[in-house]
Amino acid sequence: MTESSGGASVLNSRVSSLNSPKMRVEGATRTFSDGAVVAFENLDLEVRPNETICIVGPSGCGKTTLLRCLGGLLQPSEGRVLLDGQPVTQPSPHVAMVFQHFGLFPWKTVYDNAAYGLKLRGLSRETWEIRLRPYLDLVGLSGFDQMYPYQLSGGMQQRAGLVRALALNPDVLLMDEPFGALDAQTRELLQEELLRILEQEQKTMVFITHSIDEAIVLGDRIAVLSARPGHIREILEVGLPRPRNIQAARATDRFSELRSHIWEELRPEAAAAVG
Amino acid sequence: MVQTSVGDATVSPTPGIDPSAARAAVIDRSRAVAAARRRREEAFRWFVRLLSLAVVLGVWELYGRSVNKALFAPPSAVVSAGFEMTRSGELWSYLRGSLVVLAYGFGIALVLGIPLGVAIARSRIVDYALNWYVDAFNSTPNVALVPLITLIFGFDVSAKVIVVVISAIFAVIVNTEQGVRNVDRRLLEVAHAFRSSERQLWTDVVIPSALPYIAAGLRLAVGRALVGMVVAEFFTSITGIGYLIVRYSNSFQPDHLLVPIVLVMALGIALTTITRQIEKRIAPWTGATED
């Protein structure tokens, strides 16, 4: 909220969009229950344009709260969050979220759920079809789009959640442990589908997960968060080539190296969080 | 529950077979199985119902024949009394008045009750201002109020309508309030994240999520409205089905007395069945566990 003159901030964002971060968290602290619970404290983070940054950390380290602040659903108690150099005070039209609980409306069909964001923008049904159909085909939802969420498996429901976000053609995808509620096989299928989609589209993605494997397979960088009050312990470059094949990526030395390194980082934190 | 497992099974498509067509075939099959199961269940339901009805009527008939005719009547006598009252037009002329009262009373209860329930759920001030009255009226047997209402409004239709409204409206208010309050907070957050306006929030999230509760409220309210109708007519009326009950009771004609009683019961079953159907229509997802 420190930006004052409109002209200057437009100029700032022009200049900044060349090579500065897509999103930026500056000295952010978020507390709950009148300060009794500190989700994260004095946290700094940069999200580069078109990168996938995965955030891993022990349970209860404030990952999800951080993502809500990035999405403008929560405000940090101190510090600020910037998108393209502008403070985030409410959800932005250039950002879309995918939720761990899928967040589908049980009274809408899969199709209408996927079209939700488009409908809110007042776009016509013809436009819905043009925007949705390729994604529905891509994730294999096309035969199911007139069914209701309760009639589908969790994997199919989350595919609908993914299409709902992608259909808005956002610059930034915020993923809140989107595959955390799925079984291992389904999870891997969805990781593959997500990788395929991101190969075709330039998107910045912030991906919260508690799975180290998932973070390595999907991420360009990995931010390791400490237990509460959360702060960034370390940021790692994944350095695996793209386009990425999950099986091949798993077989690399780099994968095992990162995996054991992150686990060593997290082990005391996880123990602290549990104990 | 067959349908819930559809989906992830068919991911590596067999060459030459369109995967979405294969999936659609799986869905069709599981739907056919579910439909067959529903048909069987429906047949079984009617079998048990009719059997139970036959037993009840049989016991009633045997008992009714063994008792003094001035005190009780077997179903056969009730049926013939019913025919007689229908042929003479007596039954319909009394029933018509009651149905008008019921329709007005129930309609008013809906039109006032739903917005009131929404207001109580949405506004702290309205909630604090009204919740004692809602609790008080909701837990008081409304028979207690009928003499007072007769004193104020006399014996005409409006008094009876008011009794029906008071009987039915609180079920509507309380359920509507519950429905609006019970909106899934996570879905409200989803709506917020996708930049929903306040009006869109109501049409997309709050109202659809409250509808099953409101429909359940209607089902409760129908029963209570019927009770209100009959009670109001006991006290206030020289017309209506309730009056018919009083009259035949005073003249010791239990066969004729039981006709309006059975009729009100049948009306109760019919109206409850209709509202239950509406409930299912409105919120198919709440019946997910039945499949």
In three-state secondary structure terms, B68 is coil
| CA B39 remoteness from chain centre | 24
Of A35-49, B78-92, B276-290, give the lowest mean pLDDT range: B276-290
- Whole-angstrom Cα distance, residue B7 to residue A47? 35
Q: What is the pLDDT of residues A253-271, one digit of tens each?
A: 999 999 999 999 888 877 7
* Contact with chain A for residue B147, Cβ under 8 A: no
- Cα angle A110-A114-A118, degrees, rounded to a multiple of 5: 145
Residue A117 has pLDDT above 80, yes or no: yes
Q: What is the pLDDT of residues B117-140, one digit of tens each?
A: 999 998 899 999 999 999 888 888
CB atoms under 10 Å from CB of B104, counted, come to 17
What residues are paired with A237 via a beta bridge?
A221
Instruction: Note the pLDDT of residue A114.
Output: 96
| Cβ partners under 8 Å of residue B86, min gap 6 | B92
- Type of residue numbered B10: T
Residue A12 has pLDDT above 60, yes or no: no
Residue with tokens 């439909």: B35
Provide, rounded to the nearest whole percent, the portion of chain B with pLDDT above 70.
91
Residue B17 has pLDDT above 80, yes or no: no
Residue with the bigger pLDDT between A219 and A33: it is A219
Q: How far is A37 from chain B (nearest CA, A)?
A: 21
Instruction: Note the pLDDT of residue A274.
Output: 61
Q: How far is A269 from chain B (nearest CA, A)?
A: 28
Q: What is the average pLDDT across B237-260?
A: 87
Interchain CB distance below 8 Å, B5 and A71: no
Q: Model confidence at B27, in pLDDT bands (50, 70, 90)?
A: confident
Q: Which of A102, A97, A90 shows the shortest CA–CA distance to B197?
A: A90
Tell me what the pLDDT averaged over chain B comes to: 86
Residue B38 has pLDDT above 80, yes or no: yes
- From residue B173, give the alpha-carbon distance in Å to each of A79, B118, B127, B185: 45, 8, 11, 22
Instruction: Note the pLDDT of residue B122.
Output: 87
* Partners of residue A119 in chain B, C-beta under 8 Å: 204
Q: How far is B210 from chain A (nearest CA, A)?
A: 11
Q: Which of A89, A101, A102, A105 to mutate to test the interface with B (most CBs of B within 10 A)?
A: A105
Residue B103 has pLDDT above 70, yes or no: yes
Query: What is the arrangement of strands in the sheet containing A78-83, beginning at the earlier edge strand?
Result: A37-47, A23-32, A78-83, A86-87
Q: Which of B144, B119, B146 shows the shortest CA–CA distance to B134?
A: B119
DSSP 8-class letter at B54:
H
Residue with tokens 């819905």: A128
Task: Count CB pairs under 8 A between chains A and B.
Answer: 88
CB atoms under 10 Å from CB of B246, counted, come to 18
Instruction: Note the pLDDT of residue B18.
Output: 64
Interchain CB distance below 8 Å, B193 and A71: yes
Interchain CB distance below 8 Å, A91 and B6: no
Q: How far is A164 from chain B (nearest CA, A)?
A: 10
Q: Which residue of B has its CA nearest to A97?
A: B193
Instruction: Note the pLDDT of residue B113.
Output: 95
- Whole-angstrom Cα distance, residue B16 to residue B14? 6
In three-state secondary structure terms, B18 is coil
Q: Model confidence at A19, in pLDDT bands (50, 70, 90)?
A: low
Q: What is the pTM of this model?
A: 0.76
- Whole-angstrom Cα distance, residue B160 to residue B247? 18
* Partners of residue B205 in chain A, C-beta under 8 Å: 105
Tokens of A14: 């022009």
In three-state secondary structure terms, B259 is helix
- Whole-angstrom Cα distance, residue A215 to residue A210? 8
Interchain CB distance below 8 Å, A150 and B288: yes
Instruction: Note the pLDDT of residue A266.
Output: 87
Instruction: Note the pLDDT of residue A91.
Output: 96
| Cβ partners under 8 Å of residue A213, min gap 6 | A250, A259
Q: Model confidence at B6, in pLDDT bands (50, 70, 90)?
A: very low
Asked if B81 contacts B256 with a C-beta cutoff of 8 angstroms, the reply is yes
Q: What is the average pLDDT across A207-215?
A: 94
Residue with the bigger pLDDT between B157 and A75: it is A75
- Following DSSP, what letter does each residue of chain A receive, concatenated? -----HHHHHHHHHHHHHHS-SEEEEEEEEEETTTTEEEEEEEEEEE-TT-EEEEE--TTSSHHHHHHHHTTSS--SEEEEEETTEE--S--TTEEEE-TT----TTS-HHHHHTHHHHHTT--HHHHHHHHHHHHHHTT-GGGTTS-GGGS-HHHHHHHHHHHHHTT--SEEEEESTTTTS-HHHHHHHHHHHHHHHHHS--EEEEEES-HHHHHHH-SEEEEEPSSSB-EEEEEE----SS--HHHHHHSHHHHHHHHHHHHHHHHHHHHHH-
What residues are paired with A96 via a beta bridge?
A173
- Whole-angstrom Cα distance, residue A118 to residue A93? 11
Q: Of B22-26, B29-33, B220-224, where does the model show the most confidence?
A: B220-224
Instruction: Note the pLDDT of residue A15.
Output: 46
Q: Which of B109, B111, B158 shows the shortest CA–CA distance to B137?
A: B109
Instruction: Note the pLDDT of residue B285.
Output: 75
Smallest Cβ–Cβ distance between A103 and the set B21, B186, B196 belongs to: B186
